[in-house]
Every structure is written in structure tokens, then in C-alpha cells.
Structure 1
Amino acid sequence: MGFLCSACSWDIRVALIWVWSVIYVANASEKYISAVGDPGMKSPNVRIGLEAWNFCNEVGAEAPQMGSPRMADCADLYCPLISAIDLDFGMSMSRPQKQVGSSWMSTWLCIFDLYFSIPDVLLFFSLSLFFFLPPFSPHKLVDSVDGFLHDNGSKCEAHHKVEKSDNHLGAGDVFPVEGFYSHTDPDLFAVEKELYLGSLCEVHDSNSAEPWQFWMIMLKNGNFDKNTTLCPENGKKVSKIVTKRTFPCFGEGCMNQPLVYHNYSRVVSSGDENVSLTGEFYGTYDLDADLSKGPGKNSYFSVSWMKNMSSGSWIFSQKLTTSAKYPWLMLYLRSDATKGFNGGYHYNGRGIMNKLPESPNFTVKLTLDIKRGGGTNSQFYLLDIGSCWKNNGDPCDGDVLTDVTRYSEMIINPATTNWCRPNNLISCPPYHVSADGEIIYRNDTSRFPYSAYHLYCGPGNADYLEKPFDICDPYSNPQSQELVQILPHPEWAVHGYPAKKGDGWIGDSRTWELEVGALSSRLYFYQDPGTKPVKRVWTSINVGTEIYVSSKGETAEWTVSDFDVLVPEDTTDDGEGFF
């Protein structure tokens, strides 16, 4: 029989729970709502954060004159024409001026609801047909139903929530408001700075009881200096790194943070009178680079945002280039939870998901257009989902010795091969769950779908991993991690994922509707035998690439738009009970 699971009864329990999940999905309400504060990326206002991590998801040391590597661009599109019209009719003398965010009709109906009776409203609209109709044209007022503003001569402005002085705060600096605590430790300061920036960007809207902050851009440097002890080993502080694993590093200082430059959001207009915001973050890890002369042979990254004037969605245009000194770089656009331990964190973070998606009932929509792939070693993730729970199924609590980061990633680069093979079971999960709920063990060479998996690796703090096994890299997260990397395959196509290599790759832009909850409920994740199966709640959903140790400078370039996470309408979990 080969290698069998050391706890087969446990596997059967997991399988039965999976079957129950499928039945639950079939009988669940079909009405889904958005879990993100900016559904489909259609807000006319900008809410974007940026974070940069070293190899173990910390700061280590700040880049010269850059401050802590947490930044934000949060701006409201503001058009004073609304207030001018309000004043003309004596209705807003003591009321705050309106921000863009609702249609012209909604704006006026809200005012009438506050100030007038129903007969007054009817009389007013009757009179306006004769006297006031031109000024009340929707092309004169704010109309953001389609995700941008229609404007006809008004002077729109970008009202920024985050100043340059906020973005330049660094370790040891005092925050300008009370309630946030300074630290001289760069790692601890970055945690507090993210909370501070989140407070400046926070949005309270009527659609949710919970506020939200921003989409998150994440950068990560894959260099690891084994001569330092900056990174723990499976969460444990060590006095010396002893490992046979190899990592890129050009010498002292190779784990540095990047130089990040910022073109703050500004107002732009098109010929058809549409008005929107646009902006950009860009930079390099090469600290001696002069980007005024172009990237040259240096590492480079950029993320810019502008409106799609057809759909109203934000378009995030992203570019990542590796170099000889920085051959392993990562760039993602993240939809993170608004509180709690987001994927890769061991502290309280900020984000845009104010409802947490839970397997098996959630869907992710996005449009992805890959222009350049980043070479053969580019692990381009159509989707990367992350969360955190302990091996006994308990929620994470910040104890890095027992917490485990869990990831699943769909790699769509057709050059990525399946390391999981009949002659390399160490890179396969112990079993696969078919679409109809059948468990197929990895030693069943005639039925196990090896080509559906790139690799599986288990958490380094697990006590009962089934042999043969390989543990995930013990240094690249602040705690142990577990990783399930999957590839395009008919097994996943039933959930809307790519069925074969090349689907959705360069020249094949697609709008995806992915049943992520259903697929993720089928994946194997380790748990100690005899423990209660974990509630799989996901705190980070990301798209982007990890260019893994390129032999030469490689470039990936892509756009993301229409991003949304849909959960059942009765979802109430905001993460409070999960963490």
C-alpha cells in the first residue's frame, strides 16, 4: 500500500466534513454581498496602503531617508460645485461640504429627507422643471454610480488624508496624535505606523458596521543573510543560522528595505467630461540607484492607479524587475482584513475586508491582464489566500511558537512545473480530495492528480507529519508556515480556475469568477490528529508575482481591476471571534 496516513480515521472525518460542506453550499442562500469596503474597486476615492518586508516579513532596518516602510495614498475626489448649489438655495449654510461618493439624485434626496416634508419635495421638483432644471443636470452634479465623476466645468480637487510628513515617519518619531506609541525598534514602529495610517484613511459607510482602510500593496525582498540573526527559525530566536538551504545575498546589507517614491493622487479628466484620480508608488532596492536616468540594470517596481472609464473600476498597473543583487522579489496587491493577523503577520494589521470569507462559501472576482511574465522562475499567483491557525485548530493569538501561517496559491505561469510527482512524494500533500469528495492518497499513482500540484510543504512545528515530508522554509515568515501551491488543472476548473497551462497568461486577459471557498475546502492542511477541524477563515487574498531567484534581470508587468470578494449575505464574521 505504500505510505498511509498515520491517522486514517482522522482523514475520514475530514472527508465527511468536506462532503457536508458541499451539501451546505448547495443549500446555502444564493444571495452574496461584497466583503470589501470598495466593491469591485469602483469608489471614486483612493484608499491605497504600501508595506515592504524583509525576508522574514519584518523591517530589520529602514532605508536611508525613507522612514518606516509603511505608506499610504488616501484621497477623496472633491467637487465644490455641489456646495455652491446648496448655498444658492440656502440649504447648506451650516452643513459640511459634500464629498464624492453618491449619485446626484441620492444627494438631493438625502437633503430633502432632512429638511422638507413630502409635499415640499413634490412642489420643489415641480417648480424645478420650469426654473432650475439646467443647474440640476446630473452632468453638473456628482455622479459616482459608475465609479467616476461626470463633470462639466467644476473645479474638482484631491483632498488628501495622508500628508508627506505622515508617510516619512520613522522609528523613534512621535506620532502627531495621541493613541499611537513610538518605538525605536523598526519592526515595532512599522506595526504602529500601519495602525496610524489606517486611522487617517478609515472609511465609515452605511453598508457595514465595521470601518475599512485601504487596499494594500506589498513588496518583499527575498535576500537572506545567514550570517545575521534577524530572522527566527520557525518562530524561535536563534543565536546562529545553521541550514543547508541556499538563499541569495550579495553580502552585508542585502536584506535592505527599498527606496520608495510617491506621486500623490491628482485629478485628471478625459475628453468626455469624466473626472477621476490617478497616482503612483515606484522605487528600487538598489540604494545607490539614480532613477531619474531610468531603472537601467537596477531592480525596480511601480504600482500606478487610474480609472477604467468604461467600467468605473480602478486599474492597478504593476511592474517588477529583478537584478543581479536582488534576484528574488515579490509584489502583490492584497485584500486584507481590517483587523487581526493578516497572512504573514503576527500582529494587528489594517486592510479592506470588513467581513471575513470562510470556506466553503465565498467567491473572488477580478480581471487580470498579464503583459510580461517575469521569466521561467516567476511564480505568478492568479490568487494567493492566506490565514493563520494553530496545529490544534485554535485561532492564532500572536504566539509565534505555536501559530502557523497557512497559504494556498494558484500559479499560472505555464513554465512552472509540478514538483509533486510519483517519484517525489515529499512534495505532494498526503492526499487529494476530488470534486465529489473522494480521498485519493498520494501513493495511488494511477489516480492521484500529481500535475495539479506544484508543491506542498508542512509546518516546521508540526509533531505528526506523515512521512515522507518536507517542512516549509523556516525563516521566511515570523512563525512556522504551511504551503499548498496548485497549478492549472481540470480538477480545479470546476471552480472557475484555469483548466490548463496557458489559460489567463500573456495575451489572454480574463475576468475570473473563482469559487475560492469551495476549492480551498478541498485542500489538505495539516492538523494534529484527534483535534476539531478548523474553521477556515481567510484574512488575506492577494494577486501578483514572486520572481524566484532569477539568473538574470527579469520583468513582470500586469494589471488588476474589478477585484471583489463575495460572501453570503448573512455573513457576520468580522474577525473578532476568529483571532
Structure 2
Amino acid sequence: MEEKHSTLVIMLQLWRRMDCCLFLFCITFHVLFVSGDADGYISAIGDPEMKRDELRVAIEAWNQCNEVGKEAPNMGSPRAADCFDIDKSTTPFHRVTEDDNKLGVNNASDHNVDEYAPLKEIYLGDKCQVNDNPNPWQFWMIMLKSGNMDTLAALCPENGHPSKPFPPQSRFPCFGEGCMNMPLIYHNYTSLQGNNILRGSFYGTWDLDTDISKGVIANSTSYFAVTWEKEVGKGSWIFHHLVKTSIKYPWLMLYLRSDATTGFSGGYHYQTRGMSKISVTCVKLTRVNSSVSLTHVKLTGVKLDLASKFVFKPIWRVDYKIPESPNFKVRFTLNIKRGGGTKSQFYLMDMGSCWKNSGKPCDGDVTSDVTRYSEMIINPNTDSWCRPDSLAECPPYHTLPNGTRIHRTDKKNYPYGAYHMYCAPGNAKYLEEPYNTCDEYSNPQSQEILQILPHPAWGEYGYPTKKGQGWIGDPQTWELDVGRLSQALHFYQDPGTEPVKRFWPSIDLGTEIYISSNEIAEWTVSDFDIIVPKDNKGKRSHTM
């Protein structure tokens, strides 16, 4: 009886939190910074430099268009967490049980797998939450994604609109019906190894009929594994990552993310939980209709009304405050052991955000929201597609640190080699010719992507300036001025609209192995931190 009461209390707390953030109020949370540096910067995340013994880490999996589609057999919804406290004997006390991690849509009275997954993430976040004063945080997020897409099934929207079936194309791998499945995810809960080493892992495969013990060896098998290890009371957690493609699953992604603790993160139109303790103004909504029936979702045997009798019209959804361009930096140590082949787009830094082409914040309307990404690829096999004879692959302008703008037709001064590619949002109406629009299916809404390469143009921001820096055999600790760089990069906005303030609720690194089978990428990350000025008043830079 007491256990059921505790569960009910947790769920009611979750309901109140979601009710507050999603349905009724516009509330502003404030940032708490835990650690400070003599150079005037302080941490904006819950676990600065990954030094906290009591780890909080979760894993999520998505299909090509950042949805679930269908849960893997006996796996539950593709969200799981490993969150623990340590008692005096240094033995981990786990806050998330196996039953929690196995929760799936079969536990719900509403069988919508896409909506259930983010609700489960919120539930796990509630169990993992660290109640810092004044703002809580939840966990690091490991992200898995497969690029397989069944074009005949029309499961992914086209720039946020319903799509129609079309014949298979080489850019969308698919072995047939069911190719967009979720992976099998297995879990070794963090435990004490010997006297003072903590270690845990998530691992698995997308091949539903495979022997997971042969995942790394058998060429016909996809595989992933993320293992974390730390000496109690000393140093940083070391996250060891491995991902392997196969013939059936040739396009795979594995990232370690610091997401916002509330609101949207890059690429998703659902509420998220994370590590970045970002100040957010939540949704303000207005009741417009009372005729809609109740939707019930059951997570642990307790039914919750996650949609009330009323329909609410969003006015503003999220106003992110930090990290804001140009006022933040990212620090971490990266050691790449295996690169993942010539088509591995290994991202030294990947940042994601969302705003409309008008400059207004995203509000969950996938027909007008636009995901914005910028990534630096450090695989030396990746060449520049941006050239004087291929201007559609180049952003219209390059901006120097002093604010000078260089048009892409300026062959003498434009740094073509600094860019791998640029693609514009599919719903943009005033694009400068020539242009390419981004893949219209791999996000729930339109997207804009700007990929850069090591080049002297980025040296002032702390990024690598030539190929090979930071690659295999060259482990480095980086301090990247991501804020200033992200402010200078070109992102589309409708003419005559006020330049948007750029906020980045998702900061991550890892690789995207693009359509190549039997390739392995392996790397470690440690010491990760996002830092901002102590007074939160950095230099203003130039927006493009």
C-alpha cells in the first residue's frame, strides 16, 4: 500500500509539473551555476566536467524522422536510465528499476508509441532528478538513431506535412517492411568494480533476430555500446562509445548530448529532460474548446489525464535563455580510436535549436517550426562540397570575427574550404538562388543544416584549423567558443524580420555513419562542460 502511494505521489508530481509547463502557465525558471572559474566563466550544467560520482545518464532511440513508430519486442518504449546515489560503502543505490526501464505502450490505455516515449522520458527524469537550488536537472542523454526509411510506408512527414508513398531511393536505405524498427537495448546497471571503480553500460543492436554476444564480430550485425567508468572521488567519468553499421542498417548515429532540462531540444517537438540547467519561459496556452474527450496514459498502473477536457491553443511555447549566442563555450576531452570509415561524419561539436523563419520561437507547430543544426565534421576524409562552381552548397554569406560579411560569389575572399555543405529549410519562401533544401523527411519539421570543416577561418574560436587535428592518434582537450561561432554562422530568416536571438538547447558530439556497411566508430568523451560568463553579459557579436 505504501509503495502504491509513493508511486501515486510521484505521478501526481509529474502531472503537476507537466500541467504547469504544458497546459496552464508561463513560468520562468532561473539558472543555477554550480562551479566557477578564475577566468570569469561558470558552468551551466548539472554535472560540471562530469566529476559527480552519483551519475545520471539516460538513453533514447529514434527512427529516421525522430519518432518511434513501433517498439522493439520485449524492450518497452525506447527510453531507459541509469541514475544512482552512493551510500557510505560506495555501493550504488539505483533510483530507476528494471520495471521502470521496461515500461512501454502496452502499459498505457492510449496506444500512441510516439507520444508515450517522451512521456516516459519525463517520468524517468522525475526519478533521476537532482533538486539543486533553485533549479533541478535530470541526466546526460545518449542518443541513437537509424537512417533507414520505408518510402512506401509514408511514415515520415514531408517538411512537417503528411507525406505520400514514393518509390525507394538510394538516399533512404531500407531492406523492406519493418526496416525502421527500434533497437534492442540492454543494460548493465552501474556497479562497484573492485574497491573504487564504478562502471555501467547500455548496449544493443538494431537486428532483432541476432545473437547480441556476436554483435561486434559478425559483419552482418549492427551494434552499439556506451560504457561509463569512474574512480570514486577522483576525476571525470569516461564515456566509451562504439557503433557499428551493417548491410541492413548502414546509416546509424550515436551521440552524447547535454539537452535542456525542460522545453524542446534540437530536432524534437516534444518536452525533453537533460543536463543543461537553462532558464526557460514555458508555454502560455488559452482554453478554446471543452468538447474533447479525455486521453488516459498509464505508466506504472496509475492513469493520468495528459490531455484535459479542453483544447488549448499555444501562444508562445519556449523562450530559451542559456546557452545563448555569443556567450558560451564548451569544454571536453575527446579521444577517437576508430573513425567509422570514409563516410563517418564525426561531429566534434553539434548544436541544435529551433525557431521559425519569422524569428519567433518554435511552438510545436511542425508546419512552421524549423530545426537548426550546425556541426563541425573532423573526419579528414570529408571534403568540401562548397566550391565556386557549386554555390548551392555554400551559405550565402561568411562572416569574419570582426563582422565583415563576404558573399559566396567573392571568389577571392570567401573561404569555400571552411564549409562541407549548407542546405536551407524546405519551408523557406525567400531563398537566394542557387540553393539546396534539406532532406524533407529526417525531422518531424523542416530543418536547416550548416556543416563546417577544420579551416583557418575557425581558428579564432578554438576549432581545428587543418585536417587531422583531433582525429585518430591525436586526442585533445578542447575549449570551443561555440557561442561566438554560432552567432556568426548564417541561418535563414525571412527578410524584414527582427534577427532572432539564438539559443541552443542541445549540445552534443558523436558520429553519423552515412550509408556504409560494416564500419566501426569508437571514441571516448570526458570532462564535458558548458560554461557561460559569470555575469551572463558576454560580448555581442554579428548575426547572419
Same fold (TM over 0.5): yes
- Note the 1:392-541 alignment, pairs <5 A: 392-541=358-507
Q: Distance in 1 between matches of 2:404 and 2:356?
A: 26
Q: CA offsets, 1:115-174, max 9 Å, x none? A: xxxxxxxxxxxxxxxxxxxxxxxxxxxxxxxxxxxxxxxx33110010000000011315
The more displaced of 425-434 and 304-313 is 304-313
- Number of aligned residue pairs: 456
Aligned to 2:186: 261
In the alignment, structure 1 residue 210 sits paired with structure 2 residue 135: yes
- Note the 1:147-158 alignment, pairs <5 A: 155-158=89-92
Match of 1:70 among 79, 86, 93: 79
Q: Distance in 2 between matches of 1:186 and 1:566?
A: 36
3-state SS, counterpart of residue 172 of structure 1: helix
Aligned to 1:320: 243
Amino acid at match of 2:206: Y
Report if aligned partners of 2:327, 2:536 keep a CA contact under 8 Å in 1.
Answer: no
* Cα drift, residue 268 of structure 1: 2.4
Q: Distance in 1 between matches of 2:493 and 2:510?
A: 29
Q: CA offsets, 1:40-89, max 9 Å, x none? A: 0000111001000000000000011110001101011221xxxxxxxxxx
- Note the 1:74-473 alignment, pairs <5 A: 74-79=83-88, 155-174=89-108, 183-206=110-133, 209-241=134-166, 246-270=171-195, 275-295=196-216, 296-297=218-219, 298-307=221-230, 312-355=235-278, 356-473=322-439
Larger radius of gyration: 1
Report if aligned partners of 2:420, 2:451 keep a CA contact under 8 Å in 1.
Answer: yes
* Cα drift, residue 359 of structure 1: 0.4
3-state SS, counterpart of residue 352 of structure 2: strand
Q: Distance in 1 between matches of 2:233 and 2:137?
A: 26
Q: Distance in 1 between matches of 2:179 and 2:106?
A: 23
* Cα drift, residue 244 of structure 1: 6.4
Report if aligned partners of 1:234, 1:478 keep a CA contact under 8 Å in 2.
Answer: yes
Q: CA offsets, 1:85-123, max 9 Å, x none? A: xxxxxxxxxxxxxxxxxxxxxxxxxxxxxxxxxxxxxxx
In the alignment, structure 1 residue 556 sits paired with structure 2 residue 514: no
Per residue, is there more helix in 1 or in 2?
A: 1
* Cα drift, residue 269 of structure 1: 3.8
Amino acid at match of 1:161: R
Cα distance change, pair 377–44 in 1 and its aligned pair in 2 (3 A) = same
**TM-score, reference length from structure 2:** 0.82
3-state SS, counterpart of residue 105 of structure 2: coil
Report if aligned partners of 1:300, 1:321 keep a CA contact under 8 Å in 2.
Answer: yes
Cα distance change, pair 402–328 in 1 and its aligned pair in 2 (3 A) = same
Report if aligned partners of 1:44, 1:276 keep a CA contact under 8 Å in 2.
Answer: no
Report if aligned partners of 2:398, 2:405 keep a CA contact under 8 Å in 1.
Answer: yes
Report if aligned partners of 2:77, 2:117 keep a CA contact under 8 Å in 1.
Answer: yes
* Cα drift, residue 242 of structure 1: 7.0
Q: Distance in 2 between matches of 1:499 and 1:456?
A: 19
In the alignment, structure 1 residue 547 sits paired with structure 2 residue 470: no
Amino acid at match of 2:192: V
Amino acid at match of 1:354: K
* Cα drift, residue 237 of structure 1: 1.1
Aligned to 1:569: 534
3-state SS, counterpart of residue 229 of structure 2: strand
Cα distance change, pair 242–360 in 1 and its aligned pair in 2 (3 A) = farther
Amino acid at match of 1:227: L
Q: CA offsets, 1:517-574, max 9 Å, x none? A: 0111110000000000000000000010000001x310000000000000122349xx
Report if aligned partners of 1:400, 1:478 keep a CA contact under 8 Å in 2.
Answer: yes
* Cα drift, residue 30 of structure 1: 5.7
Q: Distance in 1 between matches of 2:117 and 2:270?
A: 11
Q: Distance in 2 between matches of 1:308 and 1:483?
A: 39
Q: Distance in 1 between matches of 2:437 and 2:362?
A: 20
**TM-score, reference length from structure 1:** 0.77
Q: Distance in 2 between matches of 1:376 and 1:267?
A: 38
* Cα drift, residue 243 of structure 1: 8.7
3-state SS, counterpart of residue 249 of structure 1: coil
Segments of structure 1 that go 5 or more residues without pairing to the other structure are 1-28, 80-154, 175-181, 573-579
3-state SS, counterpart of residue 136 of structure 2: coil
* Cα drift, residue 328 of structure 1: 0.3
Q: Distance in 1 between matches of 2:201 and 2:117?
A: 21
* Cα drift, residue 311 of structure 1: 5.6
Cα distance change, pair 354–423 in 1 and its aligned pair in 2 (3 A) = same
In the alignment, structure 1 residue 50 sits paired with structure 2 residue 59: yes
Match of 2:70 among 49, 58, 61: 61
> Kindly, what percent of the aligned residue pairs are identical?
61
Amino acid at match of 2:265: N
Report if aligned partners of 2:423, 2:435 keep a CA contact under 8 Å in 1.
Answer: yes
Q: Distance in 2 between matches of 1:510 and 1:559?
A: 11
In the alignment, structure 1 residue 37 sits paired with structure 2 residue 46: yes
Aligned to 2:284: none
3-state SS, counterpart of residue 116 of structure 2: helix
Amino acid at match of 2:473: G
Q: Distance in 2 between matches of 1:518 and 1:402?
A: 27
Cα distance change, pair 465–410 in 1 and its aligned pair in 2 (3 A) = same
The more displaced of 540-549 and 243-252 is 243-252
Q: Distance in 1 between matches of 2:113 and 2:202?
A: 21
